[in-house]
C-alpha cells in the first residue's frame, strides 16, 4: 500500500498497512462495533440522521497533511490516519533528545507510555460526551456542522490512540482499549480519567525548605492545586486566582493544614 493514500479495502480505512497486520486488524475490527454503539449512544444527541455534511480525510500527502472530502454523519467512516513513518525522525526533547525516534516501545518506558496514551485517549470521548447536547443550541446549520466536525475529529483521535494500544501494548493495550468504551464522563462507577498530576520531589523539597513549611504540607498543597486545574480551575485572572486559592484553603483546612498563602498575604 502507498503510505500516502488511504486503504479502503478493509472495514477500517487506514494508512498504516492494516491489511498486512492481520492481528491488529482483527483486534480493531472486534473493537469497531463497540465504538459505533458508543458513538450512537453518547455522540451528538438527536442529530445522527441530520443533513449535516462532515469533512473527512481521504488521503495523506508526503508531509503528513490529510486531504479531505465531505460525507453525511451516518456515512462517516472511522479509521486510522497517521503521518507517514520517518525512520530518520529524531526525539526533540528530554534525556533522549537527538536520538532516533523509537519505532518500538522500550521496555523501561512501556507502562508510562501506555498510561499517557490511555489518558490522551480518554480525553477524546470525554469531550464528545460533554458536548452531546450542544447541537440543540446551534444558531445555524453552518454552526452545527462545525460543532459535529469537532466531535468526529475527536472520535478519530480516539481511533489513533486505540491503534497505538492495540499495535504496541499487547493484551494490556487491548484491555485498555476496551475500557475506553466502558468509561463515561461523570459516571460514578466508571468515570473518565481527568489526567495525571506530576510533582517533582526535589523541587517540592526545595520549595518547602525555602518557605519554612513541612514537606508533607507543601506536597498536599501542590496535589490539591493540581487537582483543581484538572477539574477546570485556573489562576490566569485575579478573580479566578482568588476563587482557586480559597478552595485550596478550604480543602487543606479539612486536612488540618494551615493556609498555604498566609505568608504571601503578610508580605503583600
For residues 131 and 238, state if they share a domain.
Answer: no
For residues 127 and 257, state if they share a domain.
Answer: no
The verdict on residue 175 lying in a domain is yes
For residues 64 and 140, state if they share a domain.
Answer: yes
The verdict on residue 55 lying in a domain is yes
For residues 75 and 139, state if they share a domain.
Answer: yes
23 has a pLDDT exceeding 50: yes
The verdict on residue 94 lying in a domain is no
What residues make up the domain containing 246?
201-267
For residues 137 and 255, state if they share a domain.
Answer: no
Name the band, by pLDDT with cuts 50, 70 and 90, for residue 207: very high
The verdict on residue 168 lying in a domain is yes
Choose the final residue of a domain: 182, 212, 234: 182
The verdict on residue 1 lying in a domain is no
What secondary structure does DSSP assign to the chain, as a single string?
Answer: --TTB-B-SSSS-BSS-GGG-HHHHHHHHHHHHHHHHHHHHHSSTT-TTSS-EEEEEEEE-TTS-EEEEEEEGGG----B--PPP-TT-B--SGGGTTSBPPSS--GGGHHHHHHHHHHHHHHHHHHHHHTTTGGGG-SSHHHHHHHHHHHHHHHHHHHHHHHHHHHHSHHHHHHHHHHHHH-BTT-SSSBPP-------HHHHHHHHHHTT--HHHHHHHHHHHHHHHHTT---SSHHHHHHHHHHHHHHHHHTT---TTHHHHHH-
Q: For 238-244, what is the mean pLDDT?
A: 92
pLDDT digits (tens, 9 = 90+) for 25-74: 999 999 999 999 999 899 888 877 777 888 876 666 666 666 778 888 88
For residues 221 and 248, state if they share a domain.
Answer: yes
* Total domains present in the chain: 2
The verdict on residue 191 lying in a domain is no
For residues 45 and 118, state if they share a domain.
Answer: yes
pLDDT digits (tens, 9 = 90+) for 135-144: 888 898 888 8
Choose the final residue of a domain: 139, 154, 182: 182
For residues 55 and 168, state if they share a domain.
Answer: yes
Amino acid at each position: 500500500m502507498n503510505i500516502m493514500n488511504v486503504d479502503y479495502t478493509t472495514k477500517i480505512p487506514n494508512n498504516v498497512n492494516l491489511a498486512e497486520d492481520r492481528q491488529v486488524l482483527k483486534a480493531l475490527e472486534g473493537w469497531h462495533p463497540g465504538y459505533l454503539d458508543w458513538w450512537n449512544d453518547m455522540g451528538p444527541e438527536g442529530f445522527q440522521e441530520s443533513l449535516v455534511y462532515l469533512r473527512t480525510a481521504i488521503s495523506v500527502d508526503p508531509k503528513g497533511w490529510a486531504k479531505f472530502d465531505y460525507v453525511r454523519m451516518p456515512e462517516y467512516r472511522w479509521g486510522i490516519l497517521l503521518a507517514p513513518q520517518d525512520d530518520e525522525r529524531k526525539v526533540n526533547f528530554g534525556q533522549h533528545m537527538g536520538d532516533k525516534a523509537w519505532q518500538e516501545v522500550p521496555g523501561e518506558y512501556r507502562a508510562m507510555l501506555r498510561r499517557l496514551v490511555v489518558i490522551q485517549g480518554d480525553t477524546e470521548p470525554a469531550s464528545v460526551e460533554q458536548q452531546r447536547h450542544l447541537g440543540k443550541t446551534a444558531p445555524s446549520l453552518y454552526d452545527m456542522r462545525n460543532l459535529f466536525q469537532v466531535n468526529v475529529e475527536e472520535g478519530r483521535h480516539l481511533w489513533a490512540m486505540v491503534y497505538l494500544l492495540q499495535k504496541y501494548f499487547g493484551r494490556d493495550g487491548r484491555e485498555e482499549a476496551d475500557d475506553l468504551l466502558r468509561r463515561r464522563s461523570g459516571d460514578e462507577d466508571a468515570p473518565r480519567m481527568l489526567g495525571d498530576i506530576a510533582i517533582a520531589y526535589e523541587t517540592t523539597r526545595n520549595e518547602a525548605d525555602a518557605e519554612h513549611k513541612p514537606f508533607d504540607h507543601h506536597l498536599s498543597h501542590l496535589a490539591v492545586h493540581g487537582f483543581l486545574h484538572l477539574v477546570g480551575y485556573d489562576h490566569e485572572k485575579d478573580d479566578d486566582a482568588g476563587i482557586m486559592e480559597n478552595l485550596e484553603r478550604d480543602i487543606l483546612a479539612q486536612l488540618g493544614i494551615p493556609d498555604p498563602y498566609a505568608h504571601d498575604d503578610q508580605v503583600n
